[in-house]
Structure 1
């Protein structure tokens, strides 16, 4: 399996993502600078977390117009799996690869903590090592993580089974109290129409080793390797 991580000015989780991929793949991913216009042959493209361009204008807005994103969009539309984590999710919405927007948290504060997610779908390259309805613990770290979409888009996401994860309680119940940022319908991650592009606010790359207090995030990367190798 060959993977490429796109590095923007302000990315701060690109190395964490590289460690997670290297651990799962057994080889190092390509680190591709945002200003490049060519992308190596890749089975997976990953847009990491961080604060691309310092979140000027709005989160992900400037990164979405970086030269490399033209190729990322082209590859995504051709079927190459793309994973956008936190800021990467924001970039995917700004680039038009996923619907909706990521807005300021309802608390108007930066939030950094572990949250519980309900796995809503497993028939994608990203989630085959989870089970339907499984509750997993994954960290979040964001200030602009409240997912918002109009009612018609939310209805479409639900009907097309495109919601990947929802914030939930320990028993999997989806409640307002379990929603850390005010996201519509407790949405923590969504897919595109084909299930090959995933955007999510939580950071699976931060929970891949028992030394990090858990391995729920590792299952995503092992799933990708098993599916895409």
Structure 2
């Protein structure tokens, strides 16, 4: 399995994402600069956290126009897995691969701490390694993590099981405590907490490792079916 970590000007969690794959899975992972135009040969795309383009205009607003993003859209539309974490989630919202929008944290302060999440849906290619309702500990680091959508969109998210992670305690004002959602097809996940920063007990938690292990297992099972 080949993993692509997309790097934008201002990305700051790309290194952690790279090493989460390299160290936890011993995976074949490469950085892909935002000016590239091809994802040929890759099996999964990871959009890391940070402050792409300095968060000018608003978080993720400029990054959506990077040359590589048309390839990311194509990749997602073909059913391949795409994970966006923190700023990566914001970019996925801006480009329309996920519904809704991100607002400033309700308390108007930057949050950087470990938080408890609830696995709301473990029937996805990102969460099959967790138990339904399992509580996990993953760090957050964001100022614009207050997820919002209208009532119609929220109803669809609930109906389709697209709400994958919620905060055990709402830390930023997100509607329905939402911390992570997928698209309807289930192959695109956006989440504000950082699983790549929770892959070893030395980091305070190893709960994030199961997410990447789930992705690899899903790919292997899908590859067996194709074969």
So what's the TM-score if we normalise by structure 1?
0.94
Q: Once the two structures are superposed, what CA deviation does each residue of 1:35-93 show, in whole Å capped at 9, x if it has no partner?
A: 11112311110000000000001000100110000000011011010000000000000
Q: Once the two structures are superposed, what CA deviation does each residue of 1:65-124 show, in whole Å capped at 9, x if it has no partner?
A: 100000000110110100000000000000100000111000111000111111011111
Counterpart secondary structure, 1:202: coil
Aligned equivalents of 1:86 and 1:106: distance in 2?
16
Residue 12 of structure 1 aligns with which residue? 12
**How many angstroms does 1:183 deviate by?**
0.2
Aligned equivalents of 2:159 and 2:38: distance in 1?
36
Aligned equivalents of 1:23 and 1:128: distance in 2?
20
Larger CA deviation: 101-110 vs 21-30: 21-30
Stretches (4+) displaced over 3 A: none
Residue 27 of structure 1 aligns with which residue? 27
Residue 165 of structure 1 aligns with which residue? 165
Contact 2:139 2:197 survives alignment (8 Å): yes
**How many angstroms does 1:201 deviate by?**
0.1
How many residues align? The count is: 220
Aligned equivalents of 2:194 and 2:40: distance in 1?
25
Residue 43 of structure 1 aligns with which residue? 43
Runs (5+) with no aligned partner, structure 1: 169-177
So what's the TM-score if we normalise by structure 2?
0.95
Aligned equivalents of 1:30 and 1:162: distance in 2?
29
Aligned equivalents of 1:27 and 1:139: distance in 2?
23
Q: Does 1:189 align with 2:180?
A: yes
